[in-house]
Every structure is written in C-alpha cells, then in structure tokens.
Structure 1
Amino acid sequence: MGGPAWARLSQSELARVAAAPVPGAQAPLDLRVTDALTGQATTLGQVLAGHPALLLPVDYTCGNVCDPMVSMSADALAATGLAPGDSTLVLVGIDPRDDAAAARRMLADTLGERAASVRPRALIVSDEALARLTGALGYNAVYDPGTDSFAHPAAALLLTGDGRVARVLSPLALTGRDLRFALTEAGEGRVGDLADRLALLCYGYDAARGVYTPLVRRILTVAGLVTILAIGVLILGLTRLARTRAG
C-alpha cells in the first residue's frame, strides 16, 4: 500500500478532532434519544435520572478502538464498587447510519454477560440531536469517507446528575479507584478542571504520516508482547512435558 492510500485525513482536519468542553458546559437534558436496548424514545435527562454518568460517544461499527474503550470503561465502572443505580455508562452513537441493532451487537461483542452487572445505556440520536449534543459538549469528530470511519476523541465525558461536564477522561486509562473518586465528586455536583485538551484519537492511521497513531500502536505493541509471552510459556510447557516423558 502506498502513502496516498493511507493518508486519508489531512493534519488540519485531524486538528479539528477534540473533546474540549468550555467551563460550564452542560449536556441538554431535554435531548430526544432512543434507547437501543428497549426501542423506547426518551430524553437524556431521563437516562441520567439525576445520577452522574460516564458518557462515551462511540461509533457502534468502529474498527479501531471503540470496542476497547467500551470494555475498559465498563470494567472500571464495575471496579468502583458502586451500585449500578448510583452511576451509569451511557453510549451515544456518532455515526447516523448505525441503528439500534448495531448498538446491541457492539454491547454483546464487547461486554457479553458483563452488561447485566454494568447496565449500560446505548442511545441512538438523530443528526440534529447529535449536533446539538456534541456542540454543547465541545466534542468534534471528523468523518473520513476514504476509510468509511470517524476520527474522534478517545474520550469519556463525566457528567453530573444535572448534565454538567465534570471531567474529560481517557477510557483507555481508567481505574476503578480513580473513577470512583471522580464519580463521587460528580455526584456532589463538583466540576474539575476542563482546561486540558484530550489528544488521543480513535482513528486507525495517522493520516499525515500513513502510520498507526501512537494510541493504536501502543495497543498493538501490548497485544504483540502478550502473544509472544503466551507462545514462550507454551514452548516452555511443551519442553518440560517432553523431558518428563523422556525421563
């Protein structure tokens, strides 16, 4: 594959990708949404139900790191020790072509039986509702028609019960302890520092250089190391078994 086949989005286009809510940013609680699990129309305010939530904008058919983001967010939320009703993992689809079935498939593939304990909410929104929500949250994604994918922040927005943005978190670096602390603050209505721009992207290739982004490269590196370690353990086990049988 040549460089032009890799370089889809320009550096200026990627620079527009951001999760940078302004101080006082608040999600519109009257936003009309559809619950992908029940098919019922509701509002974002009814989904939050006055409790803090980890809002995760995702592409339900993403081929990059949306699945790990959902899985790690669910694991961190479960590790907080908080009751499911005390906080909520809320997914919002950013691809207007994805339907409720795509959202359900993502949850089944990434969480499986864990979904029963975390009780995530997967939402489908219209183009207009999505634009309103992302505009209020300072969240911007860019569509790449060349790869039929979205370059979007690998970000989770922690909301207070009344919809204010308390923090912007990386779902790929969450721990149960840190998330519990952040949720406790959000439950008390406290808002953290929103000045930092989250730089990690969910996008398979660096469009400017035609290589994997640092985030995806790190994930692939870890996966490769785990594979090598597993092979080494297998070889060691087979060697010991052969020696045992020979003896």
Structure 2
Amino acid sequence: MQGGYYAGPPEVGRQDGNVPNPLQNVGIDQRLNEQLPLDAVFRDENGQQVKLGQYFSHGKPVILSLVYYECPMLCNQVLIGLVGSLKALTFDVGKEFEVLTVSFDPRETPGLARQKKSTFLTRYDRPSAPAAAGWHFLTGDENSIKRLTEAVGFRYAYDPTTNQFAHASAVMVATPEGRLSHYFYGIEYAPKEIRLGLIEASDNKIGSPVDRLLLYCYHYDPATGKYGARVMNILRLGGVIFLIGFAAMLFVLIRWKPHAGEMERPTTSEVGGTA
C-alpha cells in the first residue's frame, strides 16, 4: 500500500466493505467555520516551540496543509500541487497570506521539517523574503496533532505492516481569526479557486475590484470544494451592463442629433440663382 490515497469530497470517509481495513476510517469531514486550536503547541522547522495562534496574529488568511514529511508519494503530490498553484498567484506567501504545513506523524522532527521547507521554497522560486518567513513547516506531539486534525476533520490511519499512514488529500483555508472557511480536494488546486478562497477568507481585505466582481458572480460550493456560477447574479449583472450600455447609446444619439436651427441651409444658388 502506498502512503495515502486520493479522495474526492462526496466519497470521503465512506464505509465500504470492499475497502482495505486501514482505509475504513480515513477521510475528511468538512468543519466549515470551526475554530482551530490556536493554543496548541508545535515546533517550527528550527526546533522552536510555537503556538498555532501566532500564525494567525497578522490579519492574514492562512492556507493549511496536513502531511507527513516521509510520506513516499501522496503528501509530496499535495505539496507539489499546492506550490504550483501558489506560483501562479500574483499574491505572495508571507505578504498577502501565510502557509502552514503540519506533519501529523508525531515521530517526525524539526530537521525533517527544515529539509522539506528548503525543498519547497526552492520550488516556489520567489524572493526568499517574505516567503521564508511566511511558509511554516511544523511538527508536534500526539496531543497537539490530534487536536488540530480533529478540528479540521482530517481522519487518517497508521498501517504498521507498511510503516505508513493512509490519508486523504486536501488543503484548507482559514480566516485570520483561525476559522476554517474553505476545503480544496485532491492534489491539484486551481489558482483561481485558491485566490478567491483567500480573498473571501480575508473578508475582501486583499484582491482587486475584479476579484470582488468575480466573487459576486461565483460562490464556493462546500460539496465540491470548488467555485460555481451564481446564475441569478450573473443575469442581474448582465442586465445592469445592458441598461448602462443602452443609456449610453441614447445619450450619444440625443447629444449628436441636429437641432432645428442647425438644419442644412440652402446654398446661394438655391436662394437667388446666378447673376
């Protein structure tokens, strides 16, 4: 068995007699608006003891990924998919938002976290500051990990026969106050979806007027972990655009319509003839 499995939102955690025992209780339960345990204690990639809440004290939304650093396949795919999406954003890690990558294996060390951080900062390929100060790789003890994974609804299982964990794949977005606002499933994350999720989580404190217009036309669907069209809002917006265009056309026609005194005057030959 490999170090995890792919799970889409509708089937996450479903009990199925055909599923191998280690996967029976594996999945993700959405906990939208759940408060993360900000007092939970972890260690950063430098071995310093930190509380989760200190990454939510800068007024920025936070992307959260739960992995284990020695995972042979799926966790790396999650992080590769995440960094690919982040590279496509005009937002910068550490500037508009923070990223938290947390190991759910209590045996892992800050040294492993440091190596993984170096690898993915190199992949991100943005100026080292503020990215180095904005993407954090944490390890923790069993109690802190349990509190965080339970708050997120992240269910996983250790398989002693392979010395690996079975787990699902997703990244989450949390508000600056530490409440879960979005789940994005799989191992590839559309940059547009991540961008809109960050903007919504920030309560529109980041992003452009165009982004706010997109959020008017699209809404986050928790069932799919994607943004879908708000049909009525698109129709309303189309109606407003039509009315504005029609009013502008009328204005131009009225403004340029010849007035009675400006009608074409007869020529000299038409008035008095030739001498």
| TM > 0.5 | yes
What is the CA–CA distance in structure 2 between the aligned matches of 1:157 and 1:93, rounded to whole Å? 14
> C-alpha displacement at 1:171, in angstroms?
5.5
What is the CA–CA distance in structure 1 between the aligned matches of 2:221 and 2:179, rounded to whole Å? 13
**Counterpart residue number, 2:61:** 52
Q: What pairs with 1:31-46 in structure 2 (closer than 5 Å)?
A: 31-36=40-45, 38-46=46-54
Q: Secondary structure at the match of 1:109?
A: helix
**Counterpart residue number, 1:91:** 101
CA deviation vs aligned residue, 1:161-211 (integer Å, no higher than 9, x gap) = 1111111113622122221111101111899554559xxxxxxxxxxxxxx
Q: Which moved more, 1:103-112 or 1:39-48?
A: 103-112
> C-alpha displacement at 1:22, in angstroms?
3.0
The letter for the 2-side match of 1:173 is E
Q: Secondary structure at the match of 1:168?
A: strand
**Counterpart residue number, 2:12:** none
**More relative contact order, 1 or 2 (CA 8 Å, 6+ apart):** 1
**Counterpart residue number, 2:178:** 163
Evaluate the alpha carbon distance shift between residue 171 and residue 34 of structure 1 in structure 2; reply closer, same or farther with a 3 A threshold.
farther
Q: Secondary structure at the match of 2:158?
A: strand
Q: Secondary structure at the match of 1:180?
A: helix
Evaluate the alpha carbon distance shift between residue 124 and residue 96 of structure 1 in structure 2; reply closer, same or farther with a 3 A threshold.
same
> C-alpha displacement at 1:108, in angstroms?
2.9
Evaluate the alpha carbon distance shift between residue 176 and residue 43 of structure 1 in structure 2; reply closer, same or farther with a 3 A threshold.
same
Indicate if the aligned counterparts of 2:68 and 2:105 stay in contact, CA closer than 8 A: yes
> C-alpha displacement at 1:145, in angstroms?
0.8
Q: Does residue 133 in structure 1 map to residue 142 in structure 2?
A: no
**Counterpart residue number, 2:74:** 65
The share of aligned pairs that are identical, in percent, is 27
Indicate if the aligned counterparts of 1:70 and 1:171 stay in contact, CA closer than 8 A: no
**Counterpart residue number, 1:21:** 30
Evaluate the alpha carbon distance shift between residue 171 and residue 40 of structure 1 in structure 2; reply closer, same or farther with a 3 A threshold.
farther
Question: How high is the TM-score relative to the length of structure 1?
Answer: 0.68
Structure 1 unaligned runs (5+)? 1-8, 198-247
What is the CA–CA distance in structure 2 between the aligned matches of 1:175 and 1:157, rounded to whole Å? 13
**Counterpart residue number, 1:147:** 162
Evaluate the alpha carbon distance shift between residue 166 and residue 95 of structure 1 in structure 2; reply closer, same or farther with a 3 A threshold.
same
The letter for the 2-side match of 1:100 is P
Indicate if the aligned counterparts of 2:28 and 2:168 stay in contact, CA closer than 8 A: yes
What is the CA–CA distance in structure 1 between the aligned matches of 2:195 and 2:120, rounded to whole Å? 22
Evaluate the alpha carbon distance shift between residue 194 and residue 26 of structure 1 in structure 2; reply closer, same or farther with a 3 A threshold.
farther
Count of residue pairs the alignment pairs up:
189
What is the CA–CA distance in structure 2 between the aligned matches of 1:181 and 1:89, rounded to whole Å? 16
Indicate if the aligned counterparts of 2:23 and 2:166 stay in contact, CA closer than 8 A: yes
The letter for the 2-side match of 1:172 is I
Pick one of 147, 153, 172 that aligns with 2:187. Answer: 172
**Counterpart residue number, 1:104:** 114
> C-alpha displacement at 1:12, in angstroms?
4.5
Evaluate the alpha carbon distance shift between residue 10 and residue 113 of structure 1 in structure 2; reply closer, same or farther with a 3 A threshold.
closer
The letter for the 2-side match of 1:48 is F
Q: Secondary structure at the match of 1:29?
A: coil
Structure 2 unaligned runs (5+)? 1-17, 205-214, 226-275
**Counterpart residue number, 2:139:** 124
Question: How high is the TM-score relative to the length of structure 2?
Answer: 0.62
> C-alpha displacement at 1:112, in angstroms?
2.4
Structure 1 vs Structure 2 CA RMSD: 2.6
